[in-house]
Structure 1
């Protein structure tokens, strides 16, 4: 298509590849919003649900720990479950980004600027 234009053909390929990467990144962002991870604390007594984008979507507390004298323990377990969910969300995002970069022919640990 751009034969005879020297380096412009390569530039056109690079621009097309960049556009494709942006489209795939947008699709990945939508997928990350649908992926759910569950963080746990206290051997599953407290569970936090989050999207792979890190948005907390739910919290489940086993009623057996809802004792007023255990308020501080409950708060600690909630925080631990939230932190676990967010850590799992970050790990899943990293995993999905690695798949995307590999599909673009880039090293899995390549950081996309988008």
Structure 2
């Protein structure tokens, strides 16, 4: 037993197991695929568990040959909506896979997508406090550029 009542070797082994579990979960996310749809299924976007678009399908019924300009605009809107829908599904999957591994940790794991980051450890060198991140528009919040999203947050 080390001074202070704990064994440093046990702590290191536990940290190594957790690191391997995190790496395994990240690989599962990279290998996973989720889909999002728009227009009643006229457009389907496929993304991996990390949110990278891997496929896009546009049903020919979405195309109106008599009005190409309007069709192009409509299809573009449907593509964006399908990608956003798939992105939300990917974030839900990230939360599902990663949250059990990060429970009990202060603010999640800095540097992992959706798992926290700067501001998670206020007052520690290299980790600015949330007030330091405020700019002219206020603080960075969930769903905003650079901020983690939570399930149900506006997107």
Q: Which residue of 1 aligns with 2:11?
A: 14
The structure whose RCO (Cα within 8 Å, separation 6+) is larger is 1
Matches within 5 A, 1:1-114: 3=1, 5-7=2-4, 9-67=6-64, 68=68, 69-101=70-102, 106-107=103-104, 111-113=108-110
From the two aligned structures, give the one with the greater helix fraction.
1
**Taking structure 1 as reference, are residues 93 and 86 closer, same or farther at Cα in structure 2, changes over 3 Å only?**
same
Q: Give 1:107 shift.
A: 4.5
The count of corresponding residues between Structure 1 and Structure 2 is 107
TM-score for the superposition, normalised by structure 1: 0.81
**Inter-partner Cα distance in structure 2 for 1:42 and 1:24:** 38
Which sections of structure 1, spanning at least 5 residues, go unmatched?
none
TM-score in terms of structure 2 length: 0.61
Unaligned 5+ residue runs, structure 2? 113-155
SS at match of 1:53: coil
